[in-house]
Amino acid sequence: MMKNTIAADLEWSSLAQKALNGECLTVEEGLAVLNAHNDEILPLMQAAFNVRKHYYGKKVKLNMIINAKSGLCPEDCGYCSQSIVSTAPVQKYTLLDKDTLLAGAREAMARQAGTYCIVAAGKGPTEKELDQVVDAVREIRETMPLKICACLGILKDGQAERLSEAGVHRYNHNLNTSKANYPSITTTHTYDQRVETVEKVKSHGMSPCSGVIIGMGETNHEIVEMAYALRELDADSIPINFLNAIPGTPLEKSGRTSAMKALKVLALFRFICPSKEIRVAGGREVNLRTLQPLSLYAANSLFVGDYLTTAGQDISADHHIIEDLGFEIELNAL
């Protein structure tokens, strides 16, 4: 038994060193991470932490979301309670006014979040909606030391430029799943459209944020492919969501991702995208449960507070996790 443990320690350490050397894991190595025996989780997370510590030390970036426009979405994304095919009872409202968006920014600061994420349901923003966001962003930039991330859907020509000029630091548009699995999740837009939007925001000087949702019927091989895709896309920030199956959505009967599997996924993304911000995002509370603290040995970022239509845990619990680990919050961090 001891020999096997030592061999496992060496294997995970070698993957960490490979990541630090700038080499990409092979498919076989990626699958080995995802298929690791649960008894090996601590040496695996230690190896991931060696990479995380090299780039980020013990600092943790905090992000806060505001659901700036809820429901009323024409898309058929199977995981989303705001989609046109969902029967989940969610609030429906048009884009929040500037004062409400500014109040959200002040709340982000109170929670010690360095990045404030303005998220709006829909295929993409109308020009009127973009005007409202641009107006709010300009005032936030003038009055608060916050980084701003916008997540407004697929952007039309000229819209990325306007957001960049207004002072949006980062734009989020998740790939969500593998290219092969995409048609089983959404049919009203394509995987390639999502890639094109990320490339568009990069070309206009905004930091690209793009991540995934684990637990939507993908295979382990496809999880490795997702990590490769985000490495190739050169996303600066990678939110790793774990499906929170909401009653009334097409994926309502999906089971949760086990905490052990979730940790292995986070380690995989740290190895394949070693220098990037890896964020434990939606669904962490219900999937990782009591093992949430271990996630920060691979990830260096958290969403704090509520998500779009589901509740997060109390902010004090997140602050306590960071404090108890001996880590520290990175204030005003992009």
Annotated binding site for [4Fe-4S] cluster: 73, 77, 80
Count of other CB atoms within 10 angstroms of residue 216: 23
Under 8 Å CB-to-CB from 100, ≥6 apart: which residues?
none
What's the chain's length in residues? Answer: 334
C-alpha atoms less than 13 angstroms from C-alpha of 154 in its C-beta half-sphere: 14
The residue written with tokens 């990069």 in the block is 202
DSSP string computed for 71-99: S------TT-TTSTT-------B-PPPHH
Q: Which of these, 37, 65, 58, lies nearest to 304 by C-alpha position?
A: 65
The two structure tokens encoding residue 7: 């061999």
> Residues annotated as binding site?
73, 77, 80, 117, 149, 209, 279
Nearest residue to 172 via CA among 201, 192, 196, 144 = 201
Angle, CA 112 vertex, CA 110 and CA 114 arms, to 5°: 120
Contact 64, 115 (CB under 8 A): yes
Strand partners, 72: none
List, as one string, the DSSP characters of 2-38.
Answer: HHHHHHHHHHHHHHHHHHHTTPPPPHHHHHHHHT--G
**CA separation for the pair 116, 54 (Å, rounded):** 26
Binding residues for [2Fe-2S] cluster, as ranges, are: 117, 149, 209, 279
Query: What's the number of CA atoms in the CB half-sphere (13 Å) around residue 107?
Result: 15
